Amino acid sequence: MDQIITLRHLPRRNTSIEIVDRRRYFGGTAGNLARAASRLGVKTALASFVGDDFPLDYRDALRREGVDLRDLRAVRGTTTPTVWVFSDPKGNQMAVIDQGPMKEAAKLPILGYSVRESELVHLGTGRPEYYTRIANLAAELDRTIGFDPSQEIHYVYTPTLFQKLLRRSTYFFGNEAEITQAKRFARVPSTEGLLKFASVVVATRGSKGSTVYTRGERIRIPRVRPARIVDVTGAGDAYRAGFYAGLSREFDLRRCGILGSTVASFVVEARGTQTHLPTWPQALRRARQYAPF
């Protein structure tokens, strides 16, 4: 869950401040990606641990989009992962994260149904020790792996754990800061160097667009211009959903990247990561301004 809290300014240490606005939104990288991809026509399953307080309206929203929830497991006596995001009118932010049962996921059983039933297994935020077990099962079943540690690459990974998962992966996703950390962990001087481990590297660059690297080419993806920018939170998850919508239809990587940028352009037009998700016809209509589909 995302709790978005607006303040007149971020507080100084040992002071109090009044809240201007507080809103509750559905969130989480897994929920964002699964719901957006499912709305785009991708057959999607969500595997995650939540608290026994997981909101019924969020479960219903995912189910209405067609997301398979058989591996959405509530852990008794825990609270659902939640982030409290504090922001001011200048765009400054700070966040406090409660990872709930995901923090102890290394001790929890493997959610294997989704691995067995999927063609592609996307590893997002979560504990690398747990994902190593998932990746091993996926490799045994000859499943494609997408690796997307997101912001957690900075504080839960070690070079050894990172390299172990990257070697198992076909696709690696990251923004500019995450790609920089990935290069440190992989001990390579360039983004292309990551291709020694993964077959495809997708580097998102915010308003500068994105780049898809393969062992044969570097594909520059333009920014798809939104009608307005209200909140950029969740744009990365939306990009991945659009990218997978293209892959599931066997589009080339350039068109997959353009679809990723397109879906992200919708999400930033409203506050909340799942508030303004496009349908497939809506995404296709906007994407056609940048490439033939």
Give the pLDDT confidence score for residue 285 in this predicted structure.
97
Q: Helix axis angle, 159-168 relative to 176-186, nearest 10°?
A: 100
Which residue numbers are catalytic? 237
Mean of the per-residue pLDDT values of the chain: 94
Domain CATH for 268: 3.40.1190.20
Residues with Cβ within 8 Å of residue 31, at least 6 apart in sequence = 46, 48, 58, 62, 274
Q: Is residue 115 part of a domain?
A: yes
Q: Is residue 238 part of a domain?
A: yes
Q: Is residue 3 part of a domain?
A: no
Closest among 93, 36, 13, 64 to 273, alpha carbons compared: 36
Three-class secondary structure of residue 292 per DSSP: coil
Give the pLDDT confidence score for residue 264 in this predicted structure.
97
Q: Is residue 8 part of a domain?
A: no
Q: Domain residues for 57?
A: 28-80+100-287
Reported as a pLDDT band with limits 50, 70 and 90, residue 270 is very high
Reported as a pLDDT band with limits 50, 70 and 90, residue 90 is confident
- Mean pLDDT in residue range 99-119: 89
- Mean pLDDT in residue range 153-174: 96
pLDDT in tens, 133-143: 999 999 999 99
Domain count of the chain?
Answer: 1
Torsion angle (degrees, nearest 10) of CA 169, 171, 175, 179: 50
Q: Is residue 17 part of a domain?
A: no
End-to-end CA gap in the chain: 35
Long-range contacts (CB closer than 8 Å, 24 or more residues apart) made by 141-145:
141/115, 141/116, 143/115, 143/118, 143/119, 144/119, 144/120, 144/170, 144/171, 145/120, 145/121, 145/169, 145/170, 145/171
Q: Is residue 90 part of a domain?
A: no
Q: Is residue 186 part of a domain?
A: yes
- Of 89-98, 106-115, 174-183, the range with the lowest mean pLDDT is 89-98
Q: Is residue 149 part of a domain?
A: yes
Please say if the pLDDT value at position 85 is more than 90.
Answer: no
Residue with tokens 């211009």: 225
pLDDT in tens, 12-30: 999 999 999 999 999 999 9
How many whole angstroms separate alpha carbon 33 and alpha carbon 119?
A: 16
